[in-house]
Amino acid sequence: MSAFASRHPIWSLIVFVAAAALLWAIFAAWPPGMVAWAGSKKIFLNAFFNGITLGGLYFLVASGFTLIFGLMRNVNLAHGSLYMLGGYVGYEVSALTGYWLLSFVAAFIVVGALGVLLQLFVFQRMEGQDLRQTLVTIGISIVLADLMLWIWGGNFYQILAPGWLSGPVKLPLVTAVKSNGEAVYLTYPVVRLAVFGAAVVLGVAVWLALNKTRIGMLIRAGVDDRDMLSATGVRIQRVFILVFAFGAGLAGVAGVVGGTFQSIAPGEDIRFLLASLVVVIVGGMGSIPGAALGALIIGLSEQLGSVYFPTYAVVLTFLIMVVVLAFRPQGLLASGRT
């Protein structure tokens, strides 16, 4: 950190000032002039929290995508379909048993198992042909999308959160001060905060697993140099299957999360595939911290954008991607390779 500060003093200053301004905007009570210029603080805080929690959801989807991409050089364009399948499976399980948490386990297992099948019967047969593998994932996503439409139809499904997670919670953040001096606090849905917390825990866990365990070292070695990994006698196929299963399982879990705080319907697969693509392009391909940073940036820009310049929210996301591509084509947090 200090090395970065000494090498890029101007950038460090900009980042520092932006962070300070953000902290002020979150914690301080806004003066009337500010409210007149930027709207009420409640709207800002809501958009901000929505952005961060949406970023958590994006991270869940994109981390699986980036893991699979990093190791296998396979742009899995069926990743959105895996997300959606997870959502439907989670809905069925929670509707059937009434246990919300069970739906996560079910989605992880079912979608992860599908990932194993895909790796065993499809990708293993096309070893090293990245383009062909990617084309196959397009075919699979079309087939899966239509099969799911066949089974679940075009309706919206929402997974109900359990009682202890539903309803709002009062946060110690002042949104406004009433004329009698009483402070108004921000209330926010618990479930979204819980999901964000879960995404953080999961992200840290994946990062630790990749950096501190033997299997994680193997995977990272494989990302850097696949030939070397197979030359050391590691059975790389097993590592591939494991990573594909885990990445797919994550997409499934994300589907349950998405189904709980948004909804599951046809078309969501493409939406989340696109989100994963943009997150990974911005953050850096194959990097977990990159996926986290990218997800946060995209989630925030989408939500803040939709509040402050509604028709151009998509363009904002897109512009971020273009700027990153133009100045740092390998992504913000990727190693030097492209």
Partner 1 sequence: MTAVSAKSPRLTATTQAPARPATGEIPGLYWVVGALLVLAPLFCSHFVLLQILGWAMILGMIALSLMFLAGYGGMVSLVQLTIAGIAGYLTAILGTSAVSGISLNWPWWLAVPVAMLVAVVFGTLVGALAVRTAGIYTIMITLAIAAAFFYFVQQNYAVFNGFTGFNNLIPPVFLGVDWHNPIAFYYLILSCAALAYLAVLYVARTPFGLALQGVRDNARRMAALGFSVTAHRIAAYSVASLIAAVAGVLLVWLNAQVSPGTVAVGPAIDILIIAVVGGIGHPIGAFIGALIYVILRTFALDALVAVGLSGERFQLLIGLGFLIIVFGSPDGLLGLWTKLQNRSQRGILPDREVSR
User: CB 74 → partner 1: shortest distance, Å?
Assistant: 8
Q: 42 or 271, CB closer to partner 1?
A: 271
- Who's near 159: CB < 8 A, 6+ residues apart? 87, 90, 91, 94, 100, 103, 256, 259, 260, 264
| Contact flags string 63-92 toward partner 1, x per CB under 8 A | ----------xxx-x---------------
Q: 140 or 239, CB closer to partner 1?
A: 140
Residue 179, SS3?
A: coil
Give how far Cα 218 sits from Cα of 49, 88, 230, 232, Å: 37, 33, 10, 10
Give the range of 8-16, 19-27, 161-169, 319-327 binding partner 1 by CB under 8 A.
Answer: 319-327
- 229 lies in the binding site for partner 1 (CB under 8 A): no
By CB under 8 A, the residues from 99 to 158 that bind partner 1 are: 129-132, 134-136, 138-143, 145-147, 149-150
8 Å CB contact between 166 and 194: no
For residue 255, what are its two tokens? 């589907």
Choosing from 28, 96, 200, 315, the residue that interacts with partner 1 (CB under 8 A) is 315
| Contact flags string 284-303 toward partner 1, x per CB under 8 A | -x------------------
- The whole-angstrom separation of Cα 299 and Cα 317 is 9
8 Å CB contact between 155 and 265: yes
Q: 136 or 245, CB closer to partner 1?
A: 136
Q: 215 or 270, CB closer to partner 1?
A: 270
Strand partners, 189: 168
User: CB 306 → partner 1: shortest distance, Å?
Assistant: 10
Choosing from 277, 300, 307, 332, the residue that interacts with partner 1 (CB under 8 A) is 277
CB atoms within 10 A of CB 103: 28
- 1 lies in the binding site for partner 1 (CB under 8 A): no
What is the chain's length? Answer: 338
- The strand ranges marked E within the chain are 168-177, 183-189
Q: 77 or 85, CB closer to partner 1?
A: 77
- 60 lies in the binding site for partner 1 (CB under 8 A): no
Strand partners, 177: 183
- 280 lies in the binding site for partner 1 (CB under 8 A): yes
Q: 203 or 305, CB closer to partner 1?
A: 305
- The whole-angstrom separation of Cα 58 and Cα 4 is 28
How many residues touch partner 1 under the rule CB under 8 A: the total is: 44
User: CB 297 → partner 1: shortest distance, Å?
Assistant: 14
8 Å CB contact between 111 and 64: no
Strand partners, 170: 187
Axis crossing angle, helix 236-261 with helix 214-224, rounded to the nearest 10: 100
Q: 106 or 280, CB closer to partner 1?
A: 280
- The whole-angstrom separation of Cα 287 and Cα 279 is 11
- Who's near 101: CB < 8 A, 6+ residues apart? 162
Tell me which residues touch partner 1 (CB under 8 A): 73-75, 77, 129-132, 134-136, 138-143, 145-147, 149-150, 270, 274, 277-278, 280-281, 285, 310-315, 317-318, 321-322, 325-326, 329-330, 338
